[in-house]
Amino acid sequence: MIKAAGLSVVLCLMFAGGALAAEAVVKVPGTAMPWSLKANPNIPFGRNDGSKPVELKGLLILGGQSLRITATGTTSTIPGGAFFGPAGQADFVATEQPGGSGTLFPARFIDPASYPVHLNALVGVFVDEKGALVARPFAVGEEFVVTVPARAKKLQFGLNDDIFADNAGELSVTVQTVQ
């Protein structure tokens, strides 16, 4: 296990049917925003009151590669409130409507074919070296398989919310290459 900037990153190499597979694990706090609003001023959401996105480290991502993302853990949206898994609060769809802050949720920018996306669901994004999105965000929930876009340099994670500062909890996110 490697400790870096308060994040635990686990890098494992294993043989799967003769092919080399790789895996990395990151911890995503309930306050994490899925992308930087500074790097993406034309893709606004929320109050911008959360912590920076959690960047996957320890796993080389390449355009065209398939990744399996799985998540466990729980987060809450208000102090003393209920906790929900990586798929978010099942009875609160948070897609195209504004949230309690009057601003949009990150899910507004996810492909509508993936709706519904729930409040505090885990969201992933591929970005370039400066943090600008290179493809649409995607809802991960508990498990998702995605193909890395050609221009992607990094994979980041955060939650689908509009007010982040009052959130709590943490998700553990595992990313594996798919052979």
| Total-model pTM | 0.88
Note the pLDDT of residue 179.
82
DSSP output for 64-111: T-EEEEEEEEEEESSTT--EE-TT-EEEEE-SSS--TTSS--GGGGS-
Please list the residues that pair with 156 across neighbouring strands: 55, 125
Task: Return the pLDDT at 3.
Answer: 39
pLDDT digits (tens, 9 = 90+) for 19-49: 445 999 999 999 999 999 999 999 999 999 9
Name the CATH architecture for the domain at 2-178: Sandwich (2.60)
Residue 95 in this model has a pLDDT that exceeds 90: yes
CA distance 26 to 163: 22
Residue spans of the domains in the chain: they are 2-178
Confidence check: pLDDT of 6 > 80: no
Degrees, nearest 5: CA angle 136-159-35: 50
